[in-house]
């Protein structure tokens, strides 16, 4: 079984349609979108940790976050970038 790896994300997003970074019940957030994207790709439930938080409607350029995953199919940062961008909305880009 592959060992868990810590992955750094460098994010740019247009936050108009999001209710900030932090997961909130019944509201779309950046953190929740990323966690759901990783689960969709790997089946793993992960916790994405942001370097800070943004409020509702706030945009970000070069926002950093990280998560730990086993995901043997994603051995390089480039594979993660391509896969996550394929399942995330066009307003959230890695």
Q: What is the DSSP string of the chain?
A: -PPPEEEEEEEEE-GGGS--SS-BTTB--HHHHHHHHHHHHHS-----EESS---TT--EEEEEEEEEE--TT--SHHHHHHHHHHHS-TTEE-
32 is catalytic: no
Kindly name the residue from 55, 57, 59, 82 that is annotated as catalytic: 55
Active site residues: 55
């Amino acid at each position: 079984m592959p060992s868990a790896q810590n992955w750094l994300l460098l994010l740019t997003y247009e936050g108009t349609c999001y209710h900030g970074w932090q997961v909130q019940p019944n509201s779309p957030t950046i953190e929740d979108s990323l966690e759901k994207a990783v689960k969709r790709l790997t089946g793993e439930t992960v916790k994405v940790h942001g370097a800070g938080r943004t409020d509702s409607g706030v945009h970000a350029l070069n926002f950093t976050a990280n998560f730990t995953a086993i995901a043997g199919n994603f051995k390089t940062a480039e594979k993660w970038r391509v896969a996550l961008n394929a399942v995330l909305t066009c307003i959230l880009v890695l």
